[in-house]
Structure 1
Amino acid sequence: MDPEPENEEEFTDEALSGPVVDRRTTTALLSAAGLGALAGCTSGDSGQSTTTSGSGDGTAGETDTPKPETKQGGRLKAGWFTGSIDVLDPPYISVGQYFQVAANIFNGLVTLKKDLTVRGDLAKDWEVTNGGKTFTFQLREGVTFHNGTEFTAEDVRYTINRTISKETPAAPKLSTLEPVDEGGVVVEDDYTVTLNFEKAMAPALIYLTRGPGRAATIVCKEAIEEMGAEAYKTSPVGTGPFKVANHDVGSELKLDAYDDYFATDEEGTQLPYLDGVDITPIPEAAQVVNALKAGDIHFSNLVPLQNVSQVEKANEVKKLQAPGVNWLGLAMNQKREPFASKKARRGIAKVIDNEAYVDTAYFGNALPAKGPINKATGWVWREDKPDDQAYAPEEGKQLLEEAGADGASFSILTTKGSLRAAKAMRQQFTSAGLDVDIEQVTSSTYWDRYAKLDYDVTISGSVGDPDPDQSLWNFYRSDGPWNWVAYEDEDVNQWLADQRRALDRDKRADILHKIEDRLIADVPHVYLSHRDDIAARRPTVKGFTHIPYMRNFHTVYLDE
């Protein structure tokens, strides 16, 4: 039976109601949602500015730089360290870098501000009743999508129904919502919508913000029906500060400022400041840094870890660094031999020296991993973890021999951007007597084959999940949307469900530790590293606030 929350009294209906949820309550919500690490690393505005007439919001442009008087206009040239940006339709995004773009195109119902208060985004106010089970949102009037269609409560219902019915990666966040057609989402009128949960769901406000893995980033029903799902996937229509002007997948993505965007800064100036953002996918690590140094781009969404020292030494480049909320591991396809054998997988884990791998692949700019729960999630992090995957090469070779996998031949699937890491891994395998080659493909081919389990092994993982739930449920539930190693364990399925009901953080941590222990022992991945989130900008880029794995440009301007 799922454990019942013991601390629901912390979250009274009055405390959760709008138009502002105070810092103390929001901090408690973040902890209950497993997002407590954000309280320590949120040093800027993690949501879009939302001051409009009658919003009750108070302020909007909560950045560390003042509003520019004469610096409006211009186009930001941004480099994205990837071969292509394939998906921008929020609930279908499984790659963190894609959502970094999409967050500039869309809005959520509410947003988390830099002062750790929950405030309205597309909702201007809301009321919580029925002991935390019912959320009634009053929506902004006069907001339009980029195609001119008016935003209404029906778009909220459509978004949530689509997220759940299509079984998208974001759907699990709404697992306790009553069925949409049975009162889960009720459109009261054009600007009022009610969400009804089966059980008290205080963290719902956090899950309804705009961000990676959130459940209600609002999409445009009319645009999807007119364009079709495939076209919407790469050129979506949202309500955000920027609209898609042109998207040549793998070549260029042009975002133009949306002139009718509803938000202004604290002085009433229309946002965004920029005329647009021109994003170029750049798959080669050295090319990213060279483009920054030469001024060919103003901003890089990621700095390849092997190139961090070059950025630090460059006079005209500023490094941006925030705590990493991620894990990377060696994914092993259990549909292929020898990876169906747990003994073989454990043998492979034990011939990998994580510290040497991090030094070679990332020049030491990462933390060797012992499990999937990262250090930035301090409330559930443990230094002392089981040693089932600990480096012990002779024991590893013995396990491989017992599993009939000594001298096994297989390939590491990779892209150009991850080639150095793949070579570092192959070097370790070769030393252990394994016959391993590297298969390099384009980014689009990589994600297609990975999702279809058309690979032997690859280096992948969770790249931006401050909540352990998202990086565990999605990867290790039997029906998880990113379970691309074919992992099956009924205990883990149940424990993942149990931890969602445990609003008491200590109880939830105990369950998460059980899950992590089982995963380390079962070795669906060999856990390799945790990496900080590192981006970079030219000094002319002003007004950017660095939130881990978010790249919001609504308050950015160019001081040239």
Structure 2
Amino acid sequence: MRDGNSDSGDANAVSDEELSGPVVDRRTTTKLLGAAGLAGLAGCLGSGGDSETTTSDDGSGGDETETQADANQKQGGRLQAAWFTGSIDVLDPPYISVGQYFQVAGNVFNGLVTLKEDLTVRGDLAKDWTVENDGKKFTFQLREGVKFHNGDEFTADDVKYTIDRTISNEAPAAGKLSSLKSVDDGGVNVKGDYEVELNFEEAMAPALIYLTRGPGRAATIVNKNAIEEMSEEQYKVTPVGTGPFEVTEHEVGSGVTLDAFDDYFETDEDGNSLPYLDGIDVKPISEPATLVNALRGGDVDFANLVPLQNIDKVEQAGEVEKLAAPGVNWYGLAMNQDREPFGSKKARKGIAKSIDNEQFIQTAYFGNAIPAKGPINKATEWVWREDKPDDQSYNSEKGSQLIEEAGASGASFSILTTQDSLRAAKAMRQQLNSAGFDVSVEQVTSSTYWERYEKGNYDTTISGSVGDPDPDQSLYNFYRKPSADGVWNWVNYESDEVHELLAEQRQALDREERKQLLQQLEDKLIADVPHAYLIHQDDVAARRSSVKGFTHIPFLRNFHTTWLDE
């Protein structure tokens, strides 16, 4: 962002007044999304679908929808929700590295602000705010009377504790606040029970976007007393938030029980208490056919993800509706560089050029994805380009040559996978075996998978970034040096150039400058092959026709305005 008081005429400049609350309008929010790299969300969050309209302290609200019109007669009931995973392991926001986990946690917690479907930033736990000092100082006026699930009252101290904990514990989400001043040196100032001030080292207009409730956000408010009473480890399983639903039971591997929180602060436009549902029973189902059959048969009401190979069955089913939105993600073949032959860039490039992405998509996903030439996805359209370097483009003859030159011909290794990714792993094994390797598939439970992946106890796996619509969010944690900020750099990739470019692009407030840095960064990643980039896939969920009032926003699954028409 340029200086808010500048007279340069920059159409992308945003003033302190425009950033201040209680509502940041659509035009200004679009600028913020562009500055944050989230411009691709505009099409996803525009009109259409069931609006997510709630009222805030200033009385603002959206257009009346089926949610408000019918909810008075249709409150109650429990939503049976299937989650396409083997287990839901972590629900503590700053420690969540799996998008599906936050899709549950998003119903338990709140942020300071939230991004609504009508593309405005509105208060969440903050009812108003002002921005000063050319975008470096944010002062939030907080809601009074908000309760945590354990009965504690929410105050400004909780904001400071949340941010301090995230940064001090070096949680994965800490990187979102890298430009915040030190918490102990004026970064977070408590001005009273219901007023808190955030001070940044440099102007950061996208700060409001990063303070929303969403995956990987660093200021999703947690409860200090609950953490101290139950321990950090237990809080990851049964956390306490201020959200519309509270965790009343969570058996890792079996499911999560969410019950409506009676003291939740939000109401709909007519003053009805939210949420409408009595609760949500979240059941992990890792077998694609089992999940789809449960949805079609009415055993579950909602599926957070539809296995792409089963989309046609959902489309053909009666009483079931497919919900699709542009996916903001990338997936690739992760190669552990601490194991041979993946320490050789030539070997990794040879492997990448031996993979036919189009064939992989047809075999693994029945055509329901698009090939990835690099990690930056098409939804971030301001930085996307079709013409990317061809270092990883399919060329079996060149791939074989590089593999032979690297001394990797006939190498034996495994692909680590879970049940829900088994088809993709088998499709990848088929291609790599055809390239002369001896590849096996090692299927494990979801919990074991993430434990081994994070500790580097694997050869290869198919993984990537989900729910990070800003290029920074899908690159910074993955490719910074593991010894620095690369908290998800489980391929053990190190590059001084990439490390510095990732820092530079964060400080480039001019969009064109940042675009050039990001494209330079992507070129380097494509050439170095820390991942063999494979696909971008749409975000596809599904609901039975009895499920009303759900708003499908990419990578989020929020149910506070959802109700059942039995």
Q: What range describes the TM-score normalised by the shorter chain of this pair?
A: over 0.9
1:490 to 496, 505, 510: 496
* Distance in 1 between residues matched to 2:471 and 2:334, nearest whole Å: 18
In structure 1, the residue matched to 2:93 is: 90
Query: Does structure 2 conserve the Cα–Cα contact (< 8 Å) formed by 1:106 and 1:239?
Result: yes
1:56 to 41, 55, 58: 58
Shift of 1:49: 5.8
Residue 361 (structure 1) aligned with residue 364 (structure 2): yes
In structure 1, the residue matched to 2:335 is: 332
* Distance in 2 between residues matched to 1:334 and 1:312, nearest whole Å: 41
For residues 251-273 of structure 1, the C-alpha deviation after alignment (integer angstroms, 9 at most, x for no partner) is 12110000000000001000000
1:363-382 alignment to 2 at 5 Å? 363-382=366-385
In structure 1, the residue matched to 2:320 is: 317
Residue 31 (structure 1) aligned with residue 37 (structure 2): no
Counterpart AA for 1:533: D
Residue 437 (structure 1) aligned with residue 433 (structure 2): no
Counterpart AA for 2:15: T
* Distance in 2 between residues matched to 1:324 and 1:264, nearest whole Å: 30
* Distance in 2 between residues matched to 1:5 and 1:122, nearest whole Å: 28
Residue 228 (structure 1) aligned with residue 231 (structure 2): yes
* Distance in 1 between residues matched to 2:3 and 2:390, nearest whole Å: 33
* Distance in 2 between residues matched to 1:330 and 1:274, nearest whole Å: 40
* Distance in 1 between residues matched to 2:189 and 2:383, nearest whole Å: 36
How much is the aligned-residue C-alpha RMSD, in angstroms?
1.6
Residue 390 (structure 1) aligned with residue 393 (structure 2): yes
* Distance in 1 between residues matched to 2:564 and 2:15, nearest whole Å: 44
Residue 470 (structure 1) aligned with residue 476 (structure 2): no
For residues 114-157 of structure 1, the C-alpha deviation after alignment (integer angstroms, 9 at most, x for no partner) is 22111111011111111211111111110000000000000000
Q: Which moved more, 1:23-32 or 1:354-363?
A: 23-32
Query: Does structure 2 conserve the Cα–Cα contact (< 8 Å) formed by 1:50 and 1:57?
Result: no
Query: Does structure 2 conserve the Cα–Cα contact (< 8 Å) formed by 1:48 and 1:111?
Result: no
In structure 1, the residue matched to 2:509 is: 503
The structure-2 alpha-carbon separation of the partners of 1:295 and 1:46, relative to structure 1 and needing over 3 Å to count, comes to: closer
Task: List alignment gaps of at least 5 residues for structure 2.
Answer: 7-12
Query: Does structure 1 conserve the Cα–Cα contact (< 8 Å) formed by 2:129 and 2:140?
Result: yes
Q: Which moved more, 1:39-48 or 1:363-372?
A: 39-48
* Distance in 2 between residues matched to 1:132 and 1:522, nearest whole Å: 37
Query: Does structure 1 conserve the Cα–Cα contact (< 8 Å) formed by 2:50 and 2:549?
Result: no
Query: Does structure 2 conserve the Cα–Cα contact (< 8 Å) formed by 1:61 and 1:555?
Result: no
Residue 130 (structure 1) aligned with residue 133 (structure 2): yes
Counterpart AA for 1:95: V
Shift of 1:460: 0.3
Query: Does structure 1 conserve the Cα–Cα contact (< 8 Å) formed by 2:66 and 2:548?
Result: no
For residues 40-80 of structure 1, the C-alpha deviation after alignment (integer angstroms, 9 at most, x for no partner) is 2113699976535xx11411687664442310000000000
1:114-153 alignment to 2 at 5 Å? 114-153=117-156
For residues 340-389 of structure 1, the C-alpha deviation after alignment (integer angstroms, 9 at most, x for no partner) is 00000001011100000000000000001110011111111111110000
Counterpart AA for 1:465: D
In structure 1, the residue matched to 2:550 is: 544
1:229-268 alignment to 2 at 5 Å? 229-268=232-271
Query: Does structure 1 conserve the Cα–Cα contact (< 8 Å) formed by 2:68 and 2:268?
Result: no
* Distance in 2 between residues matched to 1:30 and 1:259, nearest whole Å: 34
Query: Does structure 2 conserve the Cα–Cα contact (< 8 Å) formed by 1:63 and 1:555?
Result: no
Residue 184 (structure 1) aligned with residue 224 (structure 2): no
* Distance in 1 between residues matched to 2:120 and 2:295, nearest whole Å: 35
* Distance in 2 between residues matched to 1:553 and 1:369, nearest whole Å: 32
For residues 139-196 of structure 1, the C-alpha deviation after alignment (integer angstroms, 9 at most, x for no partner) is 1110000000000000000000011111111111111111001111001111111001
2:526 to 514, 520, 524: 520
Three-state SS of the structure 2 residue aligned to 1:318 is strand
**What TM-score results when the alignment is normalised by the length of structure 1?**
0.97
Counterpart AA for 1:309: D
In structure 1, the residue matched to 2:177 is: 174
Three-state SS of the structure 2 residue aligned to 1:170 is helix
Shift of 1:308: 0.6
Three-state SS of the structure 1 residue aligned to 2:497 is helix
Three-state SS of the structure 1 residue aligned to 2:97 is coil
Query: Does structure 1 conserve the Cα–Cα contact (< 8 Å) formed by 2:177 and 2:218?
Result: yes
**What TM-score results when the alignment is normalised by the length of structure 2?**
0.96
* Distance in 2 between residues matched to 1:33 and 1:260, nearest whole Å: 34
1:42 to 39, 42, 45: 45
In structure 2, the residue matched to 1:74 is: 77
Counterpart AA for 2:254: S
Query: Does structure 1 conserve the Cα–Cα contact (< 8 Å) formed by 2:240 and 2:247?
Result: yes
Shift of 1:236: 0.3
Large movers: runs of 4+ above 4 Å: 4-9, 44-50, 60-65
* Distance in 2 between residues matched to 1:537 and 1:23, nearest whole Å: 29
Query: Does structure 2 conserve the Cα–Cα contact (< 8 Å) formed by 1:61 and 1:264?
Result: no
* Distance in 2 between residues matched to 1:265 and 1:18, nearest whole Å: 20
Shift of 1:14: 1.2
1:387-426 alignment to 2 at 5 Å? 387-426=390-429
Q: Which moved more, 1:307-316 or 1:232-241?
A: 307-316
The structure-2 alpha-carbon separation of the partners of 1:453 and 1:5, relative to structure 1 and needing over 3 Å to count, comes to: farther
Counterpart AA for 2:321: K
Three-state SS of the structure 1 residue aligned to 2:236 is helix
Query: Does structure 1 conserve the Cα–Cα contact (< 8 Å) formed by 2:79 and 2:281?
Result: yes
Three-state SS of the structure 1 residue aligned to 2:375 is coil
The structure-2 alpha-carbon separation of the partners of 1:486 and 1:46, relative to structure 1 and needing over 3 Å to count, comes to: farther
Counterpart AA for 2:515: A
For residues 412-459 of structure 1, the C-alpha deviation after alignment (integer angstroms, 9 at most, x for no partner) is 000011110000000001111110001000000000100001000000
In structure 1, the residue matched to 2:9 is: none
Q: Which moved more, 1:62-71 or 1:485-494?
A: 62-71
Counterpart AA for 1:84: S
Query: Does structure 2 conserve the Cα–Cα contact (< 8 Å) formed by 1:46 and 1:111?
Result: no
Three-state SS of the structure 1 residue aligned to 2:259 is strand
In structure 1, the residue matched to 2:211 is: 208
* Distance in 1 between residues matched to 2:393 and 2:564, nearest whole Å: 48
Query: Does structure 1 conserve the Cα–Cα contact (< 8 Å) formed by 2:51 and 2:551?
Result: no
Query: Does structure 1 conserve the Cα–Cα contact (< 8 Å) formed by 2:51 and 2:65?
Result: no
Query: Does structure 2 conserve the Cα–Cα contact (< 8 Å) formed by 1:46 and 1:112?
Result: no
* Distance in 1 between residues matched to 2:98 and 2:304, nearest whole Å: 13
* Distance in 1 between residues matched to 2:440 and 2:514, nearest whole Å: 41
Query: Does structure 2 conserve the Cα–Cα contact (< 8 Å) formed by 1:47 and 1:210?
Result: no
* Distance in 2 between residues matched to 1:386 and 1:73, nearest whole Å: 54
Shift of 1:5: 4.7
Task: List alignment gaps of at least 5 residues for structure 1.
Answer: none
* Distance in 2 between residues matched to 1:189 and 1:345, nearest whole Å: 55
Query: Does structure 2 conserve the Cα–Cα contact (< 8 Å) formed by 1:331 and 1:524?
Result: yes
